[in-house]
Amino acid sequence: MTGETIYHASDKRNLARYLKDDSSNIIFTMVQKYQERAPKIDDYEIPKTPMLKAAAPSGKSKKPLPPVLFPVWNTSEKILVLVDEAHRSHTSMLHANLMRAMPNCARIGFTGTPIIGGRAKKKTHEIFGDYIDQYTIEQSQKDGSTVKILYEGRKVRATVEDGRTLDQFFEDMFRSRTEEEREAIRRKYGNVQNILEAKDLIQAKAEDMLLHYAANIMPNGFKAQVVAVTRRAAIRYYDAFIQAKAKLLKRLDFLDPHLFALSEDEQEELDEETRYLIIARKNMDTLKELEFAAIISGDHNDPPSYKTHTDKQKQEIYIGKDGRFKKPCPRISSRLSSSKACCWSGLTPRWSR
């Protein structure tokens, strides 16, 4: 907007050429350009001396590779690095390489999700220094930039069919295996993704979400979005919501009519599920019109069953090119998204308003 020349570093070679130049330039690039080779793992901490370790054969000790030292490109103190989304990638070797390339640069990081805990050893303020300015959620709500987010946490206690916990079942099933073998099985099959893709667990959560939506969100004319852990999970939520809707409509058909004669105070004494059913029954006609859509990206190796959910023309019927639902009737979209706001992600419900 200022009319200045902006250079876009499309690859590491161009980035090096631009940064070695002492001219007063503005350069756009990605932090991923600051690496000698593609990383072997997703997240590794900033080392004192950038180094990668070789994967050792079974039974042998790990031997470190020679240090992978990133080149120094410019030692000027007049370089200002502005970093957008200054969080996860800047706890890694990528940031260490950036600092080696421009050891005397000044750094300012912008982020809506600063690292304050978790696996990362370095926190955002430890990498970039003290906060220059903070704009909190409370301030944005007062300014009208965002609406207030209503959060309701819910838990699912997972058990196997005979009532044992998953840990108990695992120990009984693989009791004869060595600890090394059991650990390998845990790593391969006992991960969060496999659990969150489980059909029975998804079905149970879909039924709970739909009843909550029908009683709290749908009466106000609002839509809702569900964020799933994978594309497979999104499709399974789509199927689960269809079954959950049919089951809920049957339950409402057989709901005791005497419940509607109770006063509001008497209804407040009922359990949460019954109160939700009473409200949902009042909006049964709208519930019957409720539709669902799984909106996912496509891949050339997808199974045939994915096609109906990846078809761009069908997706546009539901959400349009701008990502908003076209039809005015209430819907739920079991949709993959990188956004963590206003969604149902994992076991954490956040209904879109």
Separation of alpha carbons 91 and 46, rounded Å: 6
Separation of alpha carbons 39 and 67, rounded Å: 14
Residue 14 makes CB contacts below 8 A (sequence gap 6+) with: 7
pLDDT value at residue 303: 86
pLDDT value at residue 43: 40
pLDDT value at residue 336: 37
3-state secondary structure string across 275-326: HHHHHHHHCHHHHHCCEEEEECCCCCCCCHHHHHHHCHHHHHHHHCCCCCCC
Separation of alpha carbons 109 and 83, rounded Å: 5
Q: Is the pLDDT of residue 238 over 90?
A: yes
Separation of alpha carbons 350 and 353, rounded Å: 9
Q: Are strands 344-345 and 348-349 parallel, antiparallel or unpaired?
A: antiparallel
Question: Which of 154-163, 189-198, 301-310, 325-334 reaches the highest mean pLDDT?
Answer: 301-310
pLDDT value at residue 315: 82
Q: Are strands 344-345 and 331-335 parallel, antiparallel or unpaired?
A: unpaired
Q: Is the pLDDT of residue 40 over 90?
A: no
Q: Are strands 80-84 and 26-28 parallel, antiparallel or unpaired?
A: unpaired
Separation of alpha carbons 29 and 14, rounded Å: 10
pLDDT value at residue 340: 27
pTM for the structure as a whole: 0.57
Q: How far is CA 269 from the centre of its chain?
A: 37
Instruction: Report CA torsion sign: 251, 353, 238, 330.
Output: positive
Tell me which residue of 339, 289, 292 sits closest to 314, measured CA to CA. Answer: 292
Tokens of 66: 């020679």
At 141, which helix (H) or strand (E)? helix 137-143
DSSP state for residue 274 in the 8-state scheme: H
Per-chain mean pLDDT for the chain? 77
pLDDT value at residue 332: 44
Q: Is the pLDDT of residue 209 over 90?
A: yes
Question: Which of 37-51, 118-132, 167-181 reaches the highest mean pLDDT?
Answer: 118-132
Helix pair angle (272-282, 199-216), 10° resolution = 60
